[in-house]
């Protein structure tokens, strides 16, 4: 039923109209190699257009936000181990846990690194409370929680640390854990104390009390060289993994589709709007004006496209619109040359001579008779130049001349991830690169297939 309706619609299109001269050959020659290439290209382009339109709905994460741990491989929930020291403390120990040794100012604050720079208490009963551990948990899938205490060797015999844990910011405390070993890191697992989640392990949730305890005399020295919290948690499942900042690669590829297509649309459309009418007018008029325009356009065309677009981008600045305009400049000569070439051939046709003989003004001849025959070749050039525009835009972003971070863009993400390929982190560069190649191939298929179908000389050669 649907196929029958589609055929009726196609057959209803006038064969010599612009749409009819494109659509009818596509349907009639769909089983040829050129027809199959064209339809494959159309399918790929439609898919990318749908992705660009609905990227906000399809993206599982905010493409600009740090969604998870950095460099998570694709198709997996990766376990993330964290061992972090505290950032905030208060209590009555004789030497502040944030004290810095004036003899060694390069060392971090006391008890935050195993460096011999410990926090000290001289009397039993002294209590120090520490919290704000930068565990940076993104998901409530906590597998284990614990803490590490490293007592310095100058701790007096019989003196030890008694540690209590709170998961609600100090509202309730666990039974004490006694730490007696010296000059070694003692890890205590507290996973079973409660059902841990990201909130309980946040800046204000997880707290520890470290009390100076002793078996004998109350006077003595207790020195804590390091105190830290540990945890292991599972990341979210990411189809394409995360990048070096922790952003979801799949979400950025989806939003990058929109960025690339917008740049391509701006560049190619403006080039068509400028280059096509100038090529029509120049080819029809001829004379000195035509020679000047040909010289000027050939001069522009002789520049390497990426280099010329980069120069324009430097002059007008970064951004999606500016990069689109930079891409425009390098394709205006292409549309001018193709249109002028078609015009030079079409203006000698008999129907043009008949129009002149009937007294039709030049404007009517150009836009009523010639343009309708010349414009049929434009979709071919449009598809091929669009494929090249995608590569040019990605190249500019890769070189740092395109859009600015943190915009989701294929070339920008490719550039940021390139240096990590040698470290085995391939996914954050592979998927943006694959999207560039896939869309470029689709547009090239469409352009080459249309060229074989629409071009009567090529059709004659095939037959």
In this predicted model, what pLDDT tens digit does every residue of 130-175 receive, in sequence order?
999 989 898 899 999 999 999 999 899 999 999 999 999 999 999 9
Task: Return the percentage of the chain with pLDDT > 70, whole number.
Answer: 89
Three-state DSSP at 85 gives strand
User: Among residues 179, 78, 88, which one has the least CA distance to residue 128?
Assistant: 88
pLDDT higher at 121 or 147:
147
Give the total residue count for the chain.
463
Helix spans in 286-304 (H): 287-302
State the pLDDT confidence band at 363, using cuts at 50, 70 and 90: confident
Is the Cβ–Cβ distance between 450 and 30 less than 8 Å? no
Q: What pTM value is reported for the model?
A: 0.83
DSSP classification of residue 73: P
- Average pLDDT (349-374) is 81
Task: Give the pLDDT band (50/70/90) at residue 15.
Answer: low
| Cα–Cα distance measured from residue 116 to residue 337, given in angstroms and rounded to the nearest whole number | 75
Is the pLDDT at 70 greater than 80, yes or no? yes
398 phi, psi to nearest 5 deg = -65, -35
pLDDT band at 93 (very low <50, low <70, confident <90, very high): confident
Q: Are strands 219-234 and 127-131 parallel, antiparallel or unpaired?
A: unpaired
Q: Which of 56-70, 164-178, 325-339, 351-365 has the lowest mean pLDDT?
A: 351-365
Residue extents of the structural domains in the chain:
31-64+241-462, 79-234
User: 283 by DSSP, 3-state: which?
Assistant: helix
CATH class, domain 79-234, is: mainly beta
CA-based Rg of the chain, rounded to a whole angstrom? 35
The arithmetic mean of pLDDT across residues 360-384, rounded, is 82
pLDDT value for 305:
83
pLDDT of 2 > 70? The answer is: no
Q: In whole angstroms, what separates CA 365 from the centre of its chain?
A: 49
- pLDDT of 346 above 90: no
4 pLDDT more than 70: no
The predicted structure's pLDDT at residue 14? 58
Q: Is the pLDDT at 5 greater than 70, yes or no?
A: no
Mean pLDDT of 382-408: 91
* Residue of higher predicted confidence among 99 and 47: 47
pLDDT digit string, tens, across residues 295-333: 999 888 888 888 888 888 888 888 899 999 999 988 999
Per CATH, domain 31-64+241-462 is 1.10.3720.10? yes
Q: How confident is the model at residue 285 (pLDDT cuts 50, 70, 90)?
A: confident
Strands of 88-91's sheet, edge to edge? 88-91, 127-131, 207-214, 159-166, 177-179
184-229 tens-digit pLDDT: 999 999 999 999 999 999 888 999 999 999 998 778 889 999 999 9
């Amino acid at each position: 039923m649907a196929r029958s309706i589609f055929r009726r619609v196609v057959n209803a299109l006038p064969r010599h109209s612009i749409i009819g001269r494109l659509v009818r050959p596509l349907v009639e020659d769909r089983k040829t190699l050129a027809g199959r290439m064209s339809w494959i290209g159309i399918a790929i382009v439609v898919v990318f257009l749908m992705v660009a339109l609905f990227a906000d709905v399809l993206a599982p994460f905010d493409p600009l936000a740090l969604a998870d741990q950095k460099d998570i491989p694709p198709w997996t929930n990766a376990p993330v181990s964290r061992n972090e020291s505290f950032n905030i403390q208060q209590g009555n120990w004789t030497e502040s846990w944030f004290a810095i040794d004036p003899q060694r100012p390069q060392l971090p604050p006391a008890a935050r690194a195993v460096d011999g720079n410990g926090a000290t208490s001289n009397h039993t009963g002294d209590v120090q409370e520490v919290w704000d551990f930068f565990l940076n948990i993104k998901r409530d899938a906590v597998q284990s929680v614990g803490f590490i205490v490293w007592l310095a060797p100058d701790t007096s015999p019989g003196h030890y640390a008694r540690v209590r844990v709170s998961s609600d910011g100090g509202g309730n405390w666990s039974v004490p854990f006694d730490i007696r070993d010296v000059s070694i890191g003692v890890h205590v697992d507290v996973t079973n104390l409660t059902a841990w989640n990201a909130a309980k392990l946040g800046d204000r949730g997880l707290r520890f009390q470290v009390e100076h305890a002793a078996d004998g005399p109350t006077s003595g020295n207790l020195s804590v060289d390091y105190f830290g919290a540990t945890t292991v948690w599972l990341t979210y499942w990411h189809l394409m993994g995360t990048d070096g900042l922790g952003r979801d690669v799949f979400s950025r590829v989806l939003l990058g589709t929109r960025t690339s297509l917008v740049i391509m649309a701006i560049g190619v459309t403006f080039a068509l709007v400028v280059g096509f009418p100038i090529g029509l007018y120049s080819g029809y008029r001829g004379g000195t004006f035509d020679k000047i325009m040909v010289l000027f356009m050939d001069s522009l065309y002789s520049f390497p496209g990426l280099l010329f677009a980069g120069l324009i981008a430097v002059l007008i600045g970064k951004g999606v619109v500016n990069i689109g305009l930079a891409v425009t400049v390098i394709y205006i000569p292409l549309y001018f040359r193709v249109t002028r070439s078609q015009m030079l051939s079409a203006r000698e046709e008999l129907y043009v001579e008949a129009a002149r003989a009937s007294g039709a003004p030049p404007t009517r001849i150009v836009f009523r008779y010639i343009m309708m025959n010349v414009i049929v070749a434009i979709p071919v050039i449009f598809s091929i130049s669009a494929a090249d525009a995608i590569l040019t835009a990605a190249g500019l972003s890769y070189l740092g001349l395109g859009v600015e971070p943190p915009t989701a863009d294929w070339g920008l993400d490719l550039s940021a991830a390139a240096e990590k390929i040698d470290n085995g982190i391939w996914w954050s560069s592979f998927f943006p690169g694959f999207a560039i190649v896939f869309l470029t191939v689709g547009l090239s298929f469409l352009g080459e297939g249309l060229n074989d179908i629409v071009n009567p000389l090529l059709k004659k050669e095939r037959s």
